[in-house]
Structure 1
Amino acid sequence: MTATQSPVLKRLPILVIALVALGGAFLLRDQISFETLARHRDSLLAFRDANFALASLTFVAAYVAIVGFSLPGGTIATLTGGFLFGLFPGGLYNVGAATLGAVVVFLAARAGFGADVAARIEGKGGAAARLQQNLRENEWSALLIMRLVPAVPFFIANLLPAFVGTSVWRFAVTTFAGIIPGTLVFTSVGAGLGEVFARGETPDLSILFAPHILGPILGLAALSALPILLKRFKKEA
């Protein structure tokens, strides 16, 4: 009886995440927005000033839930962290909560499907197996690049490592380190929202793609790819 239930129980967390994410995409897409933040800014600031510790814990828990259940509003949550808590500790709250949420998705995916998918890829061989092997040989670099390059969606970067057998430690460390640059940019934008609200404007989130911001981030991604290139050159030599 236990043997037949075990696969279902293993897949239950990722299935719950998928269902909540699907429901959130329809029910919350208009609720978690910049307009909502602007509308409730005074009450949020009052709650923070009266209960800083509780406000911090509530914010972090909400951010972990948003990422862990892949709900819409990750960018708004990051802006809120900066708006309420400044670059510090807001940046630390944002990076830490996003990392915890990502680990939740990773563990759920790995428990539900990751091991089976990894074993099937390895067993079948071919191009997919070679890609899997290359990722395993260059895990640190590959994981950092996925986090640093804005082109890789955050949710996808949570799932792919689970399907190639990445360790939790490497996933958590590279997630934490890799999201720091982009998260700090948006946190700093959030820290300046008071002036944006006063002018009745919306924040310019395209700042991440400004040359002076995107350039250093891509430079870090190139630096992360350097070990992969060095290994390839050594093999070909």
Structure 2
Amino acid sequence: MSLRKVLVLVLVLLGLAGYFVFDLGRFFSLDFIREQQAWFASVYAEHTVAVIGAYFVVYVLVTALSVPGATVMTLLGGGLFGFWLGLVVISFASTIGATLACAASRFLLRDWVQQRFGGRLVTVNRGIEREGAFYLFTMRLIPAFPFFAINLVMGLTTMPLLRYYWVSQLGMLPGTMVYVNAGKELGQLQSLSGILSPSLLASFAALGLFPLVVKKIMTRVRARRFGA
């Protein structure tokens, strides 16, 4: 293994070790976010740019390392920044993090996987060549595919990283909008009675229905495009 690969691997392992050794996952729970909501809001009001920058960096790291926390971070961003600013910040942070994870997978694992599973990888690459960006776009639209798994697997393909970036950003945008809106509604929740507000109920309904609707739409689009 080359020195560059060793250095990248060490950085990834140090990041993962730090997350679990220091139990950083406790800061990415919905309970913690709700308990600290007032504090987050006050710090954001006083140091707006710094908070946005710190949030962006943390989100990128969480996504790049594929550790749990992205969903809660998205809800926090919606509640803290509002819908439009939250959508912009989260869309770019999540896509950059996903692309870094894909690049790390390609840099560290592709040769090893190619040696052991070269035949299967050829099949995946043929699917990429046949369907192009639509292949990735479909997976990004359907939340049933774990995002960290997509980053890992696509890193083993020949898809250019630039294409991976913009297709991922477009594909993840609808789901990001749903989660940011849910976070915005949670951020405005002042009492238990607010749970029954129409807007919050609509947000949670969208969270549940979104995967089903997208799956049906993509099935029909795929059937028309490829004659299945």
TM-score normalised according to structure 2 size: 0.83
In the aligned structure 2, how far is the partner of 1:189 from the partner of 1:176?
19
Aligned runs of 1:146-165 on 2, under 5 Å? 146-165=139-158
SS at 2:28's partner residue? coil
Q: 1:100 aligns to what?
A: 96
Kept in 2: contact 1:145–1:225 (CA 8 A): no
Q: 2:58 aligns to what?
A: 62
In the aligned structure 1, how far is the partner of 2:220 from the partner of 2:42?
43
Alpha-carbon deviations, 1:52-86, whole Å to 9, x = none? 11111111111111111222211110001101111
Give the RMSD, CA atoms, in angstroms.
2.8
Q: 2:219 aligns to what?
A: 222
Aligned runs of 1:115-154 on 2, under 5 Å? 115-118=111-114, 121-122=117-118, 125=119, 128-154=121-147
Alpha-carbon deviations, 1:134-178, whole Å to 9, x = none? 223323011111111111101001111111222101110111011
Aligned: 1:36 with 2:23: no
Residues 180 and 193 of structure 1: CA distance in aligned 2, closer, same or farther (over 3 Å): same
Kept in 2: contact 1:79–1:189 (CA 8 A): yes
Superposed displacement of residue 187, structure 1: 0.2
Kept in 1: contact 2:64–2:97 (CA 8 A): yes
In the aligned structure 2, how far is the partner of 1:151 from the partner of 1:62?
24
Aligned: 1:84 with 2:80: yes
Number of matched pairs: 222
In the aligned structure 1, how far is the partner of 2:55 from the partner of 2:217?
29
Kept in 2: contact 1:64–1:97 (CA 8 A): yes
Superposed displacement of residue 38, structure 1: 1.2
In the aligned structure 1, how far is the partner of 2:79 from the partner of 2:184?
4
Alpha-carbon deviations, 1:21-54, whole Å to 9, x = none? 3653572333311111111111111111112111
Could you list the runs of 5+ residues in structure 1 that have no partner in the other structure? none
SS at 1:164's partner residue? coil
Could you list the runs of 5+ residues in structure 2 that have no partner in the other structure? none
Larger mean Cα displacement after TM superposition, 194-203 or 31-40 = 194-203
SS at 1:163's partner residue? coil
Larger mean Cα displacement after TM superposition, 31-40 or 184-193 = 31-40
Larger mean Cα displacement after TM superposition, 150-159 or 10-19 = 10-19
Kept in 2: contact 1:25–1:71 (CA 8 A): no
In the aligned structure 1, how far is the partner of 2:16 from the partner of 2:67?
5
Find the partner of 2:192 among 199, 212, 216: 199
Alpha-carbon deviations, 1:79-112, whole Å to 9, x = none? 0110111111101111110001111111111111
The percentage of counterpart residues that share the same residue type is: 23
Kept in 1: contact 2:114–2:121 (CA 8 A): no
Which structure 1 residue ranges, 4+ long, deviate > 6 Å from structure 2? 200-205
Larger mean Cα displacement after TM superposition, 89-98 or 197-206 = 197-206
TM-score normalised according to structure 1 size: 0.80
